[in-house]
Amino acid sequence: MRALDVSKRLIDYNVHPPTNYFPLIVHEALMIEPTETESLESLDYFADALLKIAEEAHTQPELLHEAPHHSPVRRCDEVLAAKQLILRTGPKINA
């Protein structure tokens, strides 16, 4: 299991995934920084989702490797995306 797998699986729990691989000195790190505006309920939900994902990693690791499942956009090939950038300019807006 990789940090990226956990992040992608969090999307299936309707949780915005944390920043991956930061700090760079910690292998497979997730930077989780809830703000003071988060409610106790949302923090509890996040913690429960992480516990469920940890259990899934042991019992059904394919769920993590293939996540997200309920998103309109599936997991992209991040290495290919980094090597073959497709950059486009947006439409011109006349002000």
Residue 12: phi and psi, rounded to 5, are: -65, -20
Q: Which residue range(s) make up the domain with 78?
A: 3-83
Instruction: Specify if 91 maps to a domain.
Output: no
pLDDT at 95 over 60: no
Instruction: Specify if 65 maps to a domain.
Output: yes
Confidence band of 93 (pLDDT split at 50, 70, 90): low
Q: How far apart are CA 13 and CA 51, in angstroms?
A: 12
Structural element, H or E, at residue 34: none
User: Number of folded domains in the chain?
Assistant: 1
Structural element, H or E, at residue 20: strand 19-20
pLDDT at residue number 94: 63
Instruction: Specify if 21 maps to a domain.
Output: yes
The enclosing domain of 30 has a CATH number of 3.90.1150.10
The per-residue pLDDT for range 33-85, each reduced to its tens digit, is 999 999 999 999 999 999 999 999 999 999 999 999 988 877 777 778 778 87
Instruction: Specify if 39 maps to a domain.
Output: yes
Confidence band of 92 (pLDDT split at 50, 70, 90): low
Instruction: Specify if 94 maps to a domain.
Output: no
